[in-house]
């Protein structure tokens, strides 16, 4: 039966070809090339007033083609997302394990980098603050060392010449010579305070007039009393500060106690004065009239 149907099909095919007939033969020599006429575009002539033909490609057509391309791209992306969703529903474990692992790893690295950066910033700030504190302390120590030589030298000179009349005439010149041997700005001034009374200042500035007229008693001021008493009791230089001075800046008061050899009962008088709770102690009471 199959062979019979195949023969019938081939016979029907041959009969149809005979009914169509052979294709016509065209003589190539009779064909002449035909030139296609170019469309003529009329331009506007201001003198003749001819109108210009409209452009064949309009803006609406461009917008339609653009919107069509955008629609096809959006539809393709949507179909891709649907395909991916179908694959994930069929194989959730194998398709989501690797992306979730990568996401968790990246999130962990991001959090670690943020924490490491913040810790590094905090440590850098601490190091900067520590460095500034060390620099300030080193500079302060250097300034203290620079004041050691003038203070000790002045103490020796006063012990050699304890007469007050001598220092009234020679204090400014001696202080100027000693301060010239220190770096500029290391010392603000040098003061001579016999019996705790501020009597001489070099260099003397207009703002210092209220300190020496009348002489200011150093033991009546809370900021200076403790350091003065400590210098008298220990017979060692004492540093008070850093503190804000009357000139408006931070500084330190360095005191070098000077004892005249004839005074031996200073410690006894100092202890007796400390035991009193009435009037503030005066250096007249501690050192007597020989200092």
| Phi, psi (deg, nearest 5) at residue 182 | -110, 155
Tell which wins on pLDDT, 15 or 165: 165
The CA R_g of the chain, rounded to the nearest whole Å, is 54
Tell which wins on pLDDT, 7 or 173: 173
Distance CA 16, CA 11 (A): 9
Question: In this structure, what is the dihedral angle of CA atoms 53, 57, 63, 64, given to the nearest 10 degrees?
Answer: 120
Helix or strand or coil: residue 217? strand
Q: Which of 2-11, 26-35, 196-205, 240-249 has the highest mean pLDDT?
A: 196-205
Alpha helices in the chain (DSSP H): 2-20, 59-90, 92-160, 164-180, 209-212, 222-234, 266-275, 283-287
Look at residue 85 and tell me whether its pLDDT is greater than 60. yes
pLDDT value, residue 60: 61
pLDDT value, residue 15: 64
Question: Angle 92-160/59-90 helices, nearest 10 degrees?
Answer: 100
Distance CA 35, CA 49 (A): 31
Token pair for residue 242? 């850093």
Look at residue 16 and tell me whether its pLDDT is greater than 60. yes
pLDDT value, residue 198: 86
Q: pLDDT-based confidence at 18, cuts 50/70/90?
A: low
**Long-range contacts made by residues 192-201, C-beta under 8 angstroms, separation at least 24?**
192/158, 192/167, 193/218, 194/164, 194/283, 194/291, 195/282, 195/283, 195/284, 195/287, 195/291, 196/228, 196/282, 196/283, 196/284, 197/283, 200/167, 200/168, 200/171, 200/172
Contacts of 187 (CB under 8 A, 6+ apart): 146, 147, 150, 179
Residue 2: count of CB within 10 angstroms of its CB = 6
% of the chain with per-residue pLDDT over 70: 68
CB 132 within 8 A of CB 164: no
pLDDT value, residue 274: 47
Helix or strand or coil: residue 247? coil
Tell which wins on pLDDT, 201 or 87: 201
Mean pLDDT, residues 163-179 taken together: 88
The pTM (predicted TM-score) of the whole model is 0.46
CB 238 within 8 A of CB 230: yes
Question: Lowest mean pLDDT: which of 5-14, 134-143, 199-208, 270-279?
Answer: 270-279
3-state SS string over 21-67?
Answer: CCCCCCCHHHCCCCCCCCCCCCCCCCCCCCCCCCCCCCHHHHHHHHH
Mean pLDDT, residues 234-245 taken together: 82
């Amino acid at each position: 039966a199959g062979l019979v149907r195949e023969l019938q099909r081939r016979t029907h095919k041959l009969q149809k070809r005979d009914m169509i007939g052979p294709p016509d033969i065209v003589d190539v020599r009779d064909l002449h090339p035909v030139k296609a006429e170019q469309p003529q575009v009329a331009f506007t002539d201001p003198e003749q007033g001819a109108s210009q033909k409209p452009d064949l490609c309009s803006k609406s057509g461009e917008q339609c083609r653009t919107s069509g391309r955008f629609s096809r791209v959006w539809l393709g992306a949507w179909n891709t997302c649907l395909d991916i969703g179908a694959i994930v529903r069929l194989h959730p474990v194998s398709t989501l394990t690797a992306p979730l692992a990568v996401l968790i790893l990246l999130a962990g690295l991001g959090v670690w980098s943020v924490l490491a950066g913040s810790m590094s910033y905090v440590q850098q700030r601490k190091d900067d603050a520590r460095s500034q504190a060390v620099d300030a302390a080193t500079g302060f120590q250097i300034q203290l060392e620079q004041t050691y030589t003038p203070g000790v030298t002045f103490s020796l000179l006063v012990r050699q010449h304890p007469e007050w009349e001598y220092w009234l005439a020679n204090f400014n010149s001696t202080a100027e010579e000693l301060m010239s041997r220190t770096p500029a700005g290391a010392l603000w001034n040098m003061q001579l305070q016999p019996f705790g009374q501020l009597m001489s200042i070099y260099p003397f500035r207009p703002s210092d007039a209220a300190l020496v007229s009348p002489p200011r008693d150093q033991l009546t001021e809370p900021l200076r009393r403790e350091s003065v008493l400590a210098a008298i009791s220990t017979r060692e230089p004492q540093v008070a500060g850093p503190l804000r001075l009357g000139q408006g800046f931070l500084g330190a008061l360095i005191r070098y106690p000077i004892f005249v050899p004839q005074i031996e009962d200073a410690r006894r008088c100092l202890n007796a004065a400390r035991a009193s709770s009435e009037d503030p102690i005066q250096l007249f009471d501690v050192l007597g009239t020989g200092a």
